[in-house]
Amino acid sequence: MAWSREQMSARAARELRDGFYVNLGIGIPTLVANYIPEGMSVVLQSENGMLGMGPFPYEGQEDADLINAGKQTITELPMSSYFSSADSFAMIRGGHIDLSVLGAMEVDEKGDLANWMVPGKVVKGMGGAMDLVAGVKRVVVVMEHTSKDGSAKFRPSCSLPLTGANVVDLLITDLAVFSRSDRHAPFRLIELATGVTLEEVKAKTTASFQIAL
């Protein structure tokens, strides 16, 4: 038994705090918005130029001029604001965003993150990910613990081109949660997903980590 995408998102949502400005990446991180605790005020930033992202529109109310970073149609809220791409990334690089949740292909024990290309195979680009990891105060990564062929994605060293070096603060997988107190500290295993054993996590991880269950 491992966590579903929804359970991973719900776990990431536990990192939110009242008053936070948050940027959610594409994929599983987008789902985190569904688990913001009732009564908590969290402002979602969309890097294409919006603060205060609202939910998906009702059918018939989609607006081509109102999309999120994943190019999905969204809505505005009474407190929303719009700005240019340069302003958006000034916000991001300037350390004004409290938390970013991103997906990953690989994370390593030094906190390096790889999520933008597979040489010779996948050419998509980094989008805003390199800016986010360089400037956001706290970076949370959500990813499957192993790749489709079963190999470890939390490794001693990333094999893919990096998105950022020493940038990950918290790693949530479908099997476990690893955190570190600062960017000089080693990762510690702090939680196991429901029904997952320490032995399973050890067997499917090649990165070194401390155990703090």
Residue 53 CB, shortest distance to another protein, in Å, is 9
- Judged by CB under 8 A, the stretch of 36-44, 75-83, 195-203, 205-213 that binds another protein is 75-83
Q: Does 57 bind another protein (CB under 8 A)?
A: yes
Chosen residue from 58, 78, 150, 182 binding another protein by CB under 8 A: 58
- Judged by CB under 8 A, the stretch of 98-106, 124-132, 187-195, 202-210 that binds another protein is 124-132
User: Catalytic one among 6, 15, 38, 47?
Assistant: 47
Query: Nearer to another protein by C-beta: 38 or 65?
Result: 65
Backbone dihedral angles phi then psi of residue 26, each to the nearest 5 degrees: -85, 145
| Partners of 179 in beta bridges | 170, 188
| 95-114: contacts with another protein (CB under 8 A) | 112
CA distance 155 to 175: 15
Residue 166 is classified by DSSP as: S
| Partners of 76 in beta bridges | 53
Q: In what order do the strands lie in the sheet with 154-155?
A: 113-114, 106-108, 154-155
State the burial class of residue 90 (Cβ atoms within 10 Å of its Cβ: 0-12, 13-18, 19+).
Answer: middle
Chosen residue from 12, 162, 170, 175 binding another protein by CB under 8 A: 162
Centroid of chain to Cα 185: 20
Q: Does 24 bind another protein (CB under 8 A)?
A: no
- Judged by CB under 8 A, the stretch of 35-43, 100-108, 131-139, 145-153 that binds another protein is 131-139
Chosen residue from 18, 38, 39, 60 binding another protein by CB under 8 A: 60
CA distance 32 to 117: 24
Q: Which residues are catalytic?
A: 47
Interface residue list for another protein (CB under 8 A): 46-50, 55-68, 70-74, 76, 82-86, 88-90, 92-93, 112, 120, 123-131, 134-135, 161-166
